[in-house]
A and B are shown apart, each in its own frame.
Chain A
Amino acid sequence: MKSRRDSRRTARRLLRACMAHGQLDGERVRRTTQLLGARKPRQGLAVLEEFARLVRAETARWKLHVESAAPLSAERLAEITTLLAARARGAVETTASVNPALLGGLRLRLGSDVWDGSVAQRLRRLGSISKNVAPISAR
């Protein structure tokens, strides 16, 4: 139990050392991984595994995924990326996909936050509202 706690603490320290201006520095991460591999410190594998998990969680925070019902133009995608990057105060890594089930509009996911402006979402909300509104006879 103690060794697991130690390796977690070490991995957290390494992650902090790899940060630059509030974001992960890819070069530092690469160098840290290489050094860990080469020097083989005590509990090295556990530290590396924990470090990978932390890096994955940290990079996920800056990943922007744009879903749309129809393909988006490059300019539109760039516009969305700039908008969200300004909101997140950092550089974001954007991916896009087409999801016809959205029917229209966009669904953006940045880290664990989702902004859903799709037609499908509006219809779902309308459906749940109509379920909750009591019939006139019951009033």
Chain B
Amino acid sequence: MSTLLQEIESQIANLKTSVAKQNVGVVREIGDGVARIEGLSDVMLNEMIEFPGGLYGLALNLEETEVGAIILGDYAHVKEGDEVKTTGRLLQVPVGRPLLGRVVNALGQPLDGKGPVSSKDFYPVEKIAPGIIKRRGVSQPVQTGIMAIDAMIPIGRGQRELIIGDRATGKTTIAVDTIINQARLNRAAETAGDRDARPLYCIYVAVGQKNSSIARTIGVLEAEGAMPWTIIIAASASDTATNQYLAPFAGAAMGEWFMDHGMDALIVYDDLSKHAVAYRQVSLLLKRPSGREAYPGDVFYLHSRLLERAARLSEKAGNGSLTALPIIETQAGDLSAYIPTNVISITDGQIFLETDLFYQGVRPAISVGTSVSRVGSAAQIKAMKQVAGKVKLELAQYREMAAFAQFGSDLDAKTRALLDRGQRTVEVFKQVQYQPQPVEVQVLVLWATTNGSLDDLPVEKVKAFQNGLVEFAATRKAALLEQIRRERVLTDALAADLKACVEEFKAGFKA
């Protein structure tokens, strides 16, 4: 009760200092969610400003006599001559665990009808990325569950890996598969009571997508039970350009909370091409000078400051991490367009998806030659390194050789063997969507592939063999899989067990 009285007394004291000083301006022009305001001499960049009726805006352009601001909300009733006030606050969004399992907009307001978000912490939307001293190298893997990625283009916690490709080539599917796999791993660790496990929380930011596409993604994540570890930020195509521009930054702020609290988080920006378009729209309305393809000059800075916020922090800084998977949509496979080249140069590698491969039935349609992870095998468990070390090179050689082999029938034995192995490896890497594979299963299958166990099988039987082997191991050799998962390295004894397992299954498969 005494604290309550103190609080009331302090409020009375505040009221006694009766004059409130404010900095105000007047709306001179309003349209398309952008207002030009005269006055506001003390306004800060990115400060929230208050319009009549409790509506807020964000000051983005500070000019000599005017301020350009974007309005966050329904601007239909804002009119010329309205008074606008500074607030002294930067734009903030709610962060923390209460957001898990929720679908929110760019301002962190719920869209899922599950009531208000009960978050007590708030983070500024724009924040400077962690510096060099606070960071450390990427060494822990993010298991995507997609064999082609985990084997050839491994992603580490704190890395920024771009997913790039034409429309409808399976970009979102890769991101969704990764989220589903994290949920499975998190659930398995929770069930097993594994205290050393580090759950990976996921944030999916949908920018400029159709509402139906977002609903479908939410539906898949709900059906696969991934929502308890996932936050979805939706700024659909029907949202204002302002919200589409802010959504990735809001997502990054939510991810940073996990990172700052010593946890690991993964953020998917789906997609940054539409984000750049939304920013171009805002910039043109603010009358900023336009550059190449009418994008403003700071479109590179827009994406670099966003993606720099992904990091792996040192032990001293809490050991948290934020991994970013930005998505870029190309036009007719053109990697050299403005936004794709920008984001390629910012990220630590890219997964390039090809339309041709997609329609040939190679799904995920990953182009091995142009895809790369600059973190390399540092983000792989040792067992995976042992079995998948040469796969990428062999597959790249196969793709090159396959093009030549179309023209000639006389091939030497070595080339023939390379082509045969390549065909089988491609078959092995084909994977049904929303069915991520555990790492121990991947190790088993890749061991069988790289050690020639599939070489004498007809190509069309490879997938059946793979599925059968996985089922056989899961039901009859569960201890072996568990041992691979636990030890994370292939010892001689373990390799011998793997050999025995594959041979036993093969004998049955042939019969």
Contacts and interface: CB of A to CB of B under 8 A. Distances in A.
Contacts of B25: 112
Contact of B11 (A1, A117, A129, A139): A129
A109 B19 contact: no
Contact of B15 (A53, A57, A111, A125): A125
B18 A105 contact: yes
Given A57-B65, A60-B39, A133-B7, A112 B23 contact: yes
Contacts of A60: 38-39
Contacts of A122: 15, 18
A98 interface: no
B68 to A, nearest CB: 15
Interface string B1-25: 0001001100100110011111111
Interface in A63-85: none
Nearest to B38: A57
A113 to B, nearest CB: 6
A133 B303 CA distance: 41
A114 B24 contact: yes
A90 B21 CA distance: 20
Interface in A89-139: 105, 109, 111-117, 121-122, 125-126, 129, 133, 136, 139
A54 interface: yes
Contacts of A129: 11, 14
Q: How large is the interface on B (under 10, 10 to 19, 20 to 34, 35 or more residues)?
A: 20 to 34
Given A117-B18, A139-B4, A111 B41 contact: yes
A54 B11 contact: no
B81 to A, nearest CB: 14
Interface in B55-112: 64-65
B458 interface: no
A113 B15 contact: no
Contact of B4 (A1, A112, A136): A136
Given A53-B65, A114-B22, A117-B18, A1 B41 contact: no
The 5 A-B residue pairs with the shortest CB-CB distance in the complex, in nearest-first order: A112-B39, A57-B65, A117-B19, A112-B41, A114-B22
Nearest to A12: B64
A54 B39 CA distance: 12
Most chain B beta carbons < 10 A, residue from A12, A105, A112, A113: A112
Contacts of A117: 18-20
Nearest to B86: A112
Q: How large is the interface on A (under 10, 10 to 19, 20 to 34, 35 or more residues)?
A: 20 to 34
A113 B21 contact: yes
B289 interface: yes
B445 interface: no
B15 A116 contact: no
Contacts of A1: 289
A21 B22 CA distance: 27
A47 B483 CA distance: 79
A116 B15 CA distance: 12
15 contacts: A54-B65, A57-B64, A57-B65, A60-B39, A112-B24, A112-B41, A112-B42, A113-B22, A115-B21, A117-B19, A117-B20, A121-B20, A122-B18, A129-B11, A133-B8
A40 to B, nearest CB: 25
A11 to B, nearest CB: 10
A117 B23 CA distance: 14
A52 B372 CA distance: 58
Given A112-B42, A116-B22, 18 more contacts: A1-B289, A53-B65, A54-B65, A57-B65, A111-B41, A112-B25, A113-B41, A113-B42, A114-B24, A115-B20, A115-B21, A116-B19, A117-B19, A121-B20, A125-B15, A125-B20, A126-B15, A129-B11
Contacts of B4: 136, 139
Contacts of A115: 19-21
Contacts of A133: 7-8, 11
Interface string A11-53: 0100000000000000000000000000000000000000001
A131 B163 CA distance: 47
Contacts of A109: 24
Contacts of A125: 14-15, 20
B40 interface: yes
Nearest to B43: A112
Nearest to B3: A139
A53 B64 CA distance: 11
Contacts of B23: 112-114
A115 B24 CA distance: 10
B425 to A, nearest CB: 55
A114 B21 contact: yes
A112 B42 CA distance: 8
A121 B14 CA distance: 13
Most chain A beta carbons < 10 A, residue from B20, B21, B23, B25: B20
Contact of A111 (B20, B22, B39): B39
B341 to A, nearest CB: 26
A36 B229 CA distance: 67
A53 to B, nearest CB: 7
Contacts of A113: 21-24, 41-42
Contact of B40 (A54, A112, A126, A139): A112
Contacts of B24: 109, 112-114
Most chain B beta carbons < 10 A, residue from A111, A114, A129: A114
